[in-house]
Structure 1
Amino acid sequence: MISKKYAQLLFVFFMSFSMSVIMSGVVVAVNTGIGEGFINRWFYSWMFAFPVALVAALTMAPIMRPLVNKIASKE
């Protein structure tokens, strides 16, 4: 079992992983269609999308967390 102190990092990892899979798949499908070679194009696109999504999430999370805490209700 992984320590609770890594929970936020794991959350960011899994969110960026899943969102990059979905977004790269949708963008590839819209731009090139779902046909022969779709899986290869999708995987190639995802290989670039995932590291970008991970770095973006790790960079933006500390900035967005205080902003969300300010605008979210205290209830």
Structure 2
Amino acid sequence: MKLSEKSADWIMPLILSIVMTFVISLVTSAISLGMSEFTLLRWISAWGISWIIAFPTLLLVLPFVRELTKRIIKWANAN
């Protein structure tokens, strides 16, 4: 099975949102709950909520971030 180059527009944000929310929800759950209250179920629940918000946000924001990045690089190279 081959995917088109265009599928990168949603695969990259998918993978990025999974990895980032996985790590951030683990850290914030451990800090806010403390190790005595921390459970796998609470962490996975927090991760799921985070991911549901993060993935569509990345899909919406990524085109603007790409454009801003291009402008910053162009501006930095002009100086």
**TM-score, length basis structure 2:** 0.82
Give the share of equivalent positions with the same residue, in percent. 26
1:47 match: 48
2:70 match: 69
How many residues align? The count is: 74
Gaps of 5+ in 2: none
The C-alpha deviation readout for 1:20-69, integer Å capped at 9, x for no partner, is: 11111110000012346521110110110001110111111111111110
CA RMSD of the aligned region, Å? 1.6
Gaps of 5+ in 1: none
On the 8 A contact 2:29/2:38 being kept in 1, the answer is no
Rg larger in structure: 2
- Specify which structure has the higher proportion of helix: 2
**TM-score, length basis structure 1:** 0.86
Moved over 4 A (4+): none
